[in-house]
Amino acid sequence: MEEAINFESILIISVLAFITPLFINSFKKIKIPFVVGEIFIGLIFGKSFLNLVHEDVWIVFLSNLGLAYLMFLSGLEIDFNQFKSDENGNKTAKTLLICFVMLIISLIVSYGISIYFVKVGIIKDVFFSTFLLTATAPGLLVPLLKERNLLDSDYGQTLLIFSLFCEFVCLIAITILSTIIDSGLSYKNFLFTILIVLSYVIYRFIKKSIKKFRFSIENFKGLHIEVRAAFALIIILVSVSHALGAEIVMGSFLAGVIFSLISGYNREDLKEKLDIIGYGFLIPIFFIQLGVNLDIKTIFNDVKMLAFIPLLLIAFYVVKLFASLLLSLLFGTNKAISGGFILSSQLSLMIVGLQIAYSLNVISDSVYTLFIVTTIMSCFIFPILFDKIFKYDGIATKKSSALDKICIRERVLTNSNLVDKPLKEIKFPPSCRIVMIMRGSEEILPNGETILRKGDILLLAGIKSNEGEMLDMVTRTII
């Protein structure tokens, strides 16, 4: 029988996805991550309070696709150029070694804390808890570092590399553990290696045929063939993951890694296109639906659970603090202690692991809610503590190449204030220009006398620091 679509719930979620960023931006003095706001809004309209949103097969599908897409974008965040030689031809072996040792320390500390958690009945499996606590959130770390102008520094890149180490190791470990808990120890627990091998084969195939793809991409102008390729690859690897009994997030993460490897200098342009679909549609549905499904009343039914919230927050920080102390060898004590705070902010992999643990009955309903609430609080509390403690002295950003400093974008002219004006009368942001105008089938190389028309497709070029101002100027809608 065909499942009926619950249009009321989809309508509510769509409206919430739109208004939540507007609501978050109204807080000028406090920076609240948007995903935290989305989960919080889901809490209000879900089981915990108003109970206005109800699941159906389509909402579940879109939510799961949003989760897969989130892990895909996490894989895409990996910049493999950071693992190449530096300007002097020396390998970044010291940084990689320190990050690896930090991972080992995190696992040891997590294991000790997990033994205690099992004894007090918070979680049933020591090893699952170990990898949950070791997990990091590079998808959250990247925007946090970007906002603070730290992402391109040696300090920021070291934090990111460690975060990626943790994510990859913990994702594989959780995949293995989930199959062991579900069906016992057998060869099936390691079928995920077929997925890794297949991913490598796909990568090599794309790598060899990339020149042909780039040559023929002009034949698909306006069809965004690279976005279609991304979704095709996600579905292929997710389907293989499901068939092998592995977690589907493993397949989508590997799809992101493949795209990061093959994108090269087009990586930022590709990320921009893919981010539109992800953060504009699918990912908000996942986080809002996550909040909808939470029932925080289960925590209040057991008052002792409330006492575990500060304990969990401390555990999150302690795991990363002992590891981040190694950063004092490179950046000093202040940077090491501060790094522990920003690395303690949990998100995607923690939530994925919790959902897996809950489905396997490794944690109870109330503990699941407890962990999710604590995870949300970590996204809010730890970045604030980082800002309070961190000192910017001695932080030097890496020198950017010319390709890193410029950007080229294609946009349709929608600002009516620019229509019917010659270019010489328009004051563009510094070092930003219109280098070509596409008007119907006509391609125009503009000069000062060229007049803009409504619906013109503009090829924009300029320095990256003024990119936002330039795009806003061209696409602003005047009401």
The owner of tokens 């030689």 is 85
- Give the confidence band of 104 by pLDDT, cuts at 50, 70, 90: very high
- Given this model, what pLDDT does residue 176 score? 85
pLDDT tens digits, one per residue of 182-241: 777 777 778 888 999 999 999 988 888 776 655 455 566 667 777 888 899 999 999 998
Q: Which residue, 3, 13, 4, is CA-closest to 52? A: 13
Which superfamily does CATH assign the domain made up of 403-475 to?
Answer: Regulator of K+ conductance, C-terminal domain (3.30.70.1450)
> Are 452 and 419 within 8 A, CB to CB?
yes
- Give the confidence band of 91 by pLDDT, cuts at 50, 70, 90: very low
Tell me the mean pLDDT in the region 162-170. Answer: 86
**Can you say how many angstroms the Cα of residue 110 is from the centroid of all Cα atoms in its chain?**
23
- Give the confidence band of 83 by pLDDT, cuts at 50, 70, 90: low
In angstroms, rounded to a whole number, what is the distance separating the alpha carbons of residues 221 and 217? 7
What is the fold, at CATH topology level, of the domain defined by 57-189+258-389? Na+/H+ antiporter like fold (1.20.1530)
- Give the confidence band of 315 by pLDDT, cuts at 50, 70, 90: very high
- Given this model, what pLDDT does residue 405 score? 61
- Given this model, what pLDDT does residue 449 score? 87
In angstroms, rounded to a whole number, what is the distance separating the alpha carbons of residues 412 and 25? 26
Phi/psi of residue 345, nearest 5 degrees: -70, 115
Give the predicted TM-score (pTM) of the model.
Answer: 0.72
Can you give the residue ranges of every domain in the chain?
57-189+258-389, 403-475
At 344, which amino acid appears?
S
Q: What is the mean pLDDT of the chain?
A: 82
At 7, which amino acid appears?
F
Which range (73-82, 279-288, 409-418, 431-440) has the least confidence? 73-82
Q: Which residue, 45, 61, 122, 40, is CA-closest to 354? A: 122
CA 357 to each of CA 164, 215, 349: distance values in angstroms, whole numbers, following the listed order: 22, 46, 12
Which range (295-304, 372-381, 442-451) has the least confidence? 295-304
- Give the confidence band of 387 by pLDDT, cuts at 50, 70, 90: confident
Residue count of the chain, please give it. 479
Q: Report the sign of the C-alpha dihedral through residues 256, 342, 316, 130, in that order.
A: positive
From first CA to last CA, the distance across the chain in angstroms is: 47
In angstroms, rounded to a whole number, what is the distance separating the alpha carbons of residues 145 and 30? 16
> Are 152 and 268 within 8 A, CB to CB?
no
Tell me the mean pLDDT in the region 289-299. Answer: 82
Q: Who wins on pLDDT, 410 or 319?
A: 319
DSSP 82: G
Q: By percentage, how much of the chain surpasses pLDDT 90? A: 17
Collapse the DSSP code of 4 into the 3-class scheme (helix H, G, I; strand E, B; otherwise coil) and give the result: coil
Q: Using only C-alpha atoms, what is the Rg of the chain?
A: 24
- Whether the pLDDT of residue 243 is over 50: the answer is yes
Please, is 255 exposed, middle or buried when counting C-beta atoms within 10 Å of its C-beta (0-12, 13-18, 19+)?
Answer: buried
- Give the confidence band of 89 by pLDDT, cuts at 50, 70, 90: very low
